[in-house]
Structure 1
Amino acid sequence: MAEETLNSLSDLGGAAPAVEDTSAVVAEPKLDAQGRAYATGKRKDAIARVWIKPGTGKITVNGREQEVYFARPVLRMMIAQPFETVERTGQFDVVCTVKGGGLSGQAGAVRHGISKALTYFEPGLRPALKARGFLTRDARVVERKKYGKAKARRSFQFSKR
């Protein structure tokens, strides 16, 4: 075994034997028996179970149409953001059940669930969704009330006399 001395970093390239990495891992879609992708989305106290499958863009929330359940346009816009980001508007049907929290938290949970389900259905979409922050679970929740306080941090009104 012959030892070589290296004079610079450029000599290091030829010192080690070249090994090609042929094990490029390609993520495979995670689908159930019906060809759907499932994911759980969370926001505040809301938890959404989301199933997506190829379709016409119909979104059903707790057995009702999206327009009925989320009456405010801002909430419907939030839910549509993942599809607009990856340019897949109208290509997937979404069925979801959501519980807990208020409507705003529920819309955020559905958006989180749709984003995760899209990455399970098409793993190549992950970088675009991650860059927009749709895959990050927003962990901000309401702070609990402390004893000796009127609310979480607000003190009772001070009385001098």
Structure 2
Amino acid sequence: MAGHRSNCIAQAMQLLRLPSSTSRVTVSRAPSHLRPPRTQTRTYATSEEAVSPAAPEIDFSTSSSRSPARIVPASPAYFSGSPRFIDHVLKLEKLQTKYSGLPTMEASEAPRMAWFKLAQFRDFVGEPVPTKKYKSLVKILQRLNRIQPAAVPAEVRSTLESFLRPGNPYAQQLAPPTVDESGRARGRGKRKESSAVVHLVEGEGEILVNGRSLVDVFKRVHDRESALWALRCTQRLDKYNAWINVRGGGVTGQAEAITLATARALLVHEPALKPVLRKAGVISVDARRVERKKPGHVKARKMPTWVKR
């Protein structure tokens, strides 16, 4: 009985799977000339029949429009971070290669040129140029500047002039200081916050500082020796009179400012003393300044004393 029931179930399942002969519907197809065009659908078949052929290349000679397929920038550095700077570098390198065979001179003999400072060059190109890259550009400029002046092409000269600061300071030669009609030579010196002006004239060795004697202004012997060291090292203490005006700073700064001003005034009278004064160290400018105090510090770098309890 159980076996007969299972056979009935199997036959019923087969009848459900097979379509019924009575449910079949015949669909008549339309004629071929009335059928809509067949659209090609995308398939993932790997056979050669299923893959569509590649598109042919564009022939611009036969096309009606002569416009290019894409816009090509005029500058080769258009897609870089600093295109204008790179354009300048490429132009200079091209000039350096083109005129590499021209005669050159030593770097010490080449004419001095005041190139753009870094901040000025950044404003000139309108781009944030790094310092290292700008130094590489200046090296190319210096190499082109070493060409013999008689052989410099006009193209190179005009390019170098475009990188000069406005008002070339090396092209302006200052008139050398001279002795005035009264026989006085003027010298000015600065040190720290002090500035001094010295008028030196031939005399018996009289020194006045702000209308007072040297001893009244400088109490220490070291400051008096420092102020007159330019005259003492050249043995000119008793040959010149000096009228000195000094202001600002402290005693030591004022004494060292007088030293520089006296040496410069002495060079106006006797330029041959420059090697002696240079060796004595009195015509070298000391540009050192006191470091500023910082917030939260006792001085420039000293911190307050730390106490745990």
Q: How does the TM-score come out when normalised to structure 2?
A: 0.42
Distance in 2, matches of 1:88 and 1:151, equals 42
Corresponding residue to 2:230 among 82, 87, 110: 82
| Structure 2 unpaired stretches of 5+ | 1-175
Distance in 2, matches of 1:111 and 1:151, equals 29
Distance in 1, matches of 2:253 and 2:177, equals 28
Instruction: Report the secondary structure of 1:159's partner residue.
Output: coil
| Structure 1 unpaired stretches of 5+ | 1-27
Highest RCO, 1 vs 2 (Cα 8 Å, sep ≥ 6): 1
Q: 1:151 to 1:37 in 2, by over 3 A?
A: same
Contact 1:78 1:108 in 2 (8 A): yes
| Larger helix percent | 2
Distance in 1, matches of 2:252 and 2:307, equals 38
Distance in 2, matches of 1:29 and 1:121, equals 10
* Cα deviations by residue, 1:104-161 (Å, 9 ceiling, x for unpaired): 1111111111011111111111110011110011112211011232211011222335
Contact 1:29 1:121 in 2 (8 A): no
Report the alpha carbon displacement of residue 29 of structure 1 after superposing the two structures with TM: 6.5
Runs of 4+ in 1 over 3 A off after TM superposition: none
Corresponding residue to 1:151 among 299, 302, 306: 299
Distance in 2, matches of 1:151 and 1:72, equals 27
Q: How many residues align?
A: 134
Aligned position for 1:127: 275
Aligned position for 1:36: 184
Which of 68-77 and 92-101 deviates more? 68-77
Instruction: Report the secondary structure of 1:125's partner residue.
Output: helix
1:104 corresponds to 2:252: yes
Distance in 2, matches of 1:149 and 1:33, equals 54
Paired residue type of 1:128: V
Q: Pairwise CA RMSD of aligned residues?
A: 1.5
| Larger strand percent | 1
Percent identical among aligned pairs is 39
Q: How does the TM-score come out when normalised to structure 1?
A: 0.78
Contact 1:29 1:123 in 2 (8 A): no
Contact 1:82 1:111 in 2 (8 A): yes
